[in-house]
Amino acid sequence: MAEIVWETSTAFFGRETEIDLWFDGDRMGDHVLASVVRVTADLGGYHLRAHRGMLEDWALPDSAVRYYLDEEPSLAGLSAADFVNRLHLVRIGIYPDSSDRPVVFDYTTGRDLTDNLLVAVFDTEGRLTGLTVES
């Protein structure tokens, strides 16, 4: 079976955000459509859960959020809330055939500042399951 990628973009909080849909097969099945509807109908909810998770992550010893911040010295000294509020969503990845990363939201402070992304990973129910830094 071939992997199919569908790409588009949308405005989210006044910024352009890419949306990628990745699925196996030669056509879009019901489970793929259900994933798209679930995510796009609740973009604000996913975003809010990601931000809440980032604020909680800040206090952890192995914080992905603080690691991301440490990689960009020009942002040093910001509080957790100020830093999280500077992040903006640049990409949503929907992977209906993935069991460990079916939905990811990629955040950045700006591509002119860093190539790194702070990635929020969600399960099939829309619960935040992890935060990672990726480039």
pLDDT, tens only, 6-62:
899 999 889 999 999 998 877 777 888 888 899 999 999 999 999 999 999 999 999
The answer to whether 128 and 61 have CB atoms below 8 angstroms apart is no
What is d(CA 80, CA 55) in angstroms, rounded to the nearest whole number? 6
Q: How far is 96 from 123, CA to CA, in rounded Å? A: 10
Q: Is the pTM of this model over 0.85?
A: yes
Q: Using one digit for the tens of pLDDT, what is the confidence trace for 84-125? A: 999 999 999 999 989 899 999 999 998 777 789 999 999 999
- Extract the runs of DSSP E, i.e. beta strands, from 13-87: 15-24
